[in-house]
Amino acid sequence: MSAVSTRHLVDEAVVRGTAVLGFNVITLEHAEGIVAGAERAGTGVLLQLSENAVVYHGRRMRPLVAACRELAAAASVPVALHLDHVREPALIDETIDLGSAAGIGSIMIDASTLPYDENVRATTEAAVRARAAGLWVEAELGEVGGKDGAHAPGVRTDPREAAAFVAATGVDGLAVAVGSSHAMTTRTAHLDLELIARLAAAVPVPLVLHGSSGVADDDLRRAVAAGIRKVNVGTALNVVWSAEVRRVLDGDAALTDPRRYLGPAREAVAELVEHLCGVIAVPHRVSPGLAAVDGLEGYSRDTKL
């Protein structure tokens, strides 16, 4: 199975009335775990590199992109590569320059903290160039001047403004604020399902849910049924990853071989990815051994958050 485009996965989700899962990559082990979990579930996924992850790697995007591209090419399921929450103009330019030739299928241009008119202007300019390079383009409509963009506490996306934003910018997908929040380590977010349905009716492009780590399984299913077509997951992977590293290191104070603790962390990521693929992309399929842990409400096999 060769790497595929983001557009292919999203279009397939639209036709099927389901959603494609995008999982954040920080290290090579993250990416390996994500692909392994997707293969077990038999489901296509997105490997997502955020601007923060690129900054963590010294702003050298190409090595991590190349590694993800090779994993995607070798995977037994369709895997696409997405650049997420890109704000820096230089990084937007580099992503567009690399484009599909480097295996990149899409970019999220994040100007959501800017006032509305500036968001439209910045997003439109970058979107024109990105689409010309063959990329599927996502954007976020945020609070005017909001520090946390569309996911500031209490912020909700207005359907009429969302429709106008998509028409003005020509983006292919829109991240909307419907009650989730980034970096949640508990699954206690309350989604406005009625608003999701209104947005889906008003906006002619697929809707994207950010902050999905804080959303319980049943609400993720309901969000997809209401019209969400791309679901981003990041923090949840890091929760199970860190829990496994702590568990292994706490059990052996003399341990120095990183393979001994990164391996279990990678496996924890794979198990969670398989589970979430079953929740969203393959209805009613649940990973054996995980379903018994209270619906994975704490994202850990043995630890509650």
* Residues tagged active-site: 84
Confidence at residue 2, expressed as pLDDT on a 0 to 100 scale: 62
DSSP 60: -
Confidence at residue 177, expressed as pLDDT on a 0 to 100 scale: 87
DSSP 204: S
DSSP 298: T
Q: Give residue 246's region: left, alpha or beta (phi > 0; psi -120 to 50).
A: alpha
Confidence at residue 292, expressed as pLDDT on a 0 to 100 scale: 30
Confidence at residue 100, expressed as pLDDT on a 0 to 100 scale: 84
CA distance 269 to 29: 9
CA distance 301 to 214: 17
N- to C-terminal Cα distance for the chain? Answer: 37
Confidence at residue 295, expressed as pLDDT on a 0 to 100 scale: 34
Q: Which has the minimum average pLDDT: 63-67, 188-192, 301-305?
A: 301-305
Q: Give tens-digit pLDDT for 180-201.
A: 666 665 665 678 888 999 999 9
Q: Give tens-digit pLDDT for 255-286.
A: 999 999 999 999 999 999 999 999 987 432 33
pLDDT band per the 50, 70, 90 thresholds, residue 63: very high
Which residues, 6+ apart, have CB-to-CB distance to 203 below 8 Å? 159, 162, 163, 166, 174, 176
Amino acid letter, residue 139 = A
Q: Give tens-digit pLDDT for 113-157.
A: 888 899 999 999 999 999 999 999 999 886 422 335 555 556 788
CA distance 233 to 235: 6
* Mean pLDDT value across residues 199-227: 89
Q: Is the pTM above the cut of 0.75?
A: yes
Domains and CATH numbers, the chain: 6-296 (3.20.20.70)
